[in-house]
Structure 1
Amino acid sequence: MDVLRWLFEAKLTIGGGFILWREVLGNVFGLVSAFGGMRRRVWAWPVGIVGNVLLFTVFLGAVFGSPNPVNLLGQAGRQVMFIVVSIYGWYSWRQSRGDAGTAVVPRWASNLTRVRLVIGLVGGTAILTPAFRALGSYEPVWADAWIFVGSLLATLGMARGWVEFWLIWVAVDIVGVPLLISAGYWASATMYIIYGGFTLTGFFVWWRYRNQAAAPRVETVFPDPRVES
């Protein structure tokens, strides 16, 4: 109980403001999970779930008695979404794990899938914005909805092994940083900036692996004379 009390009450005071340790720890777990995802390791999913649980309590500040009373419903809701989708991704990667410990072979999404992802991101944001506004989410509400929908599509893309999922995270980070700064979630905003560079690195890592995996093997025309027939 003492540990839980500390976890909910502990904060780091900086100047006239503060940062919740729950927010710091939740984002650290998220960054470790992203690193595991880049390495295509199954443990990335359960590590990410721990971070999602912590951040859920952070973004519903008024509900959990947080010193920061600002509620970001899209941010809180996406933690629940992360947990649900992560369970699917965890199962999917465990089923496809190879001998080397990697769990998925990166692949490009089809052109039709790419179009659906763009439509889903824009359309989903338009649909959720009035719903989040009615529930009292922080302005600009469209940004909160964008982050929620983008996070859903990126997590599904990661579970399916699409290389493009990294670029969706970049789009989420671009909108997420100014929103989190304006709402006073400095730790999460800082981590989003770090995520931005990390997701670009992850994209090129998966891109390079995909190109290597797709490269045709060169077979020898003439047999090795040292091999006995």
Structure 2
Amino acid sequence: MGPLGWLLDAQVGVAGSPVLVREIVGNVFGLASALLGVRRLLWAWPVGMLGNALLFTVFLGGVFATPQAHDLYGQAGRQIFFFAVSVYGWWRWTRNRRAEGAGGHAAVTPRWATWRERALLLLAAVVGTAAAYPVLAALGSWGPLPDAWILTGSLLATYGMARGWVEFWLIWVAVDAVGVPLLLRGGFYPSAAMYLFYGAFCVWGFAAWWRTSRATRPVTAPIPSTYTEAVA
């Protein structure tokens, strides 16, 4: 068995159940992408895309012969959307780096979304979840409603990361809160553990981006008193 065959077929026992090695490896790539994202480094995107490719094969058990009996079409589908949104994020962060010059390492400057942007995020969350639910239910996805939110919320969080919005970390926390119990019931133990850890990690990432946004907030220079007196 070559390295590729080993990655596709190898299994380990977790809590008495078989688990694919590629599920573990895919989640490790996801964690590495998150760590790079906290530091706002371009490598966050291609590393995450490798994890997306591996996890896509994990959540379609009926197609790729995984040990789990459940197909999570929302989980699998979001890997495809992740890949597409990551291309956009990679392009946007690369453009930011070029605009800011080669001297800095960070590819984006965190900022809070405007109230209009937050309203659009909320609307997209409701509409996206409502639209995804009947599709996933018709496909036979296990747990279509939570799966629909996980799909929608994950896409919104990834888009928010590409835009540099601090709130994207909070969206991930909301995704993880739904994802952990769903994955545990489905027997996807490495992914459930990853979601649980990632939820705590997102709180730390949120605090880090919040501090950075405060440090980089533009300061308005005071108006000279002579100018004020002249206007008066």
**What residue in structure 2 maps to residue 112 of structure 1?**
116
**What residue in structure 1 maps to residue 8 of structure 2?**
8
Residue identity matched to 2:158: T
**What residue in structure 2 maps to residue 52 of structure 1?**
52
Residue identity matched to 1:104: V
Contact 2:74–2:141 under 8 Å retained in 1: yes
Residue identity matched to 1:161: G
- Secondary structure of 1:63's match? helix
Compute the displacement of 1:15 (Å): 4.4
**What residue in structure 2 maps to residue 146 of structure 1?**
149
- Secondary structure of 1:19's match? strand
1:39 and 1:77 map into 2 onto residues whose CA distance is 27
2:49 and 2:14 map into 1 onto residues whose CA distance is 28
- Secondary structure of 1:103's match? coil
- Secondary structure of 2:64's match? coil
1:178 and 1:129 map into 2 onto residues whose CA distance is 18
User: Aligned residue pairs: how many?
Assistant: 219
Identity %: 53
The ranges of structure 1 where at least 4 consecutive aligned residues each deviate by more than 6 angstroms after the TM superposition are none
**What residue in structure 1 maps to residue 95 of structure 2?**
95
Q: What TM-score do the two structures reach when normalised by structure 1?
A: 0.92
Note the residue ranges of structure 2 that are not aligned, 5 or more in a row. Answer: 225-232
**What residue in structure 1 maps to residue 227 of structure 2?**
none
**What residue in structure 2 maps to residue 227 of structure 1?**
none
**2:173 alignment partner, one of 163, 167, 170:** 170
Computed over aligned residues only, the root mean square deviation of the Cα atoms, in angstroms, reads 1.5
- Higher mean C-alpha displacement, 203-212 vs 12-21: 12-21
Contact 2:68–2:186 under 8 Å retained in 1: no
Higher helix share: 2
**2:161 alignment partner, one of 158, 162, 177:** 158
- Higher mean C-alpha displacement, 114-123 vs 180-189: 114-123
2:116 and 2:51 map into 1 onto residues whose CA distance is 33
Q: What TM-score do the two structures reach when normalised by structure 2?
A: 0.90
CA distance change for structure 1 residues 215 and 91 in 2, over 3 Å: closer, same or farther?
closer
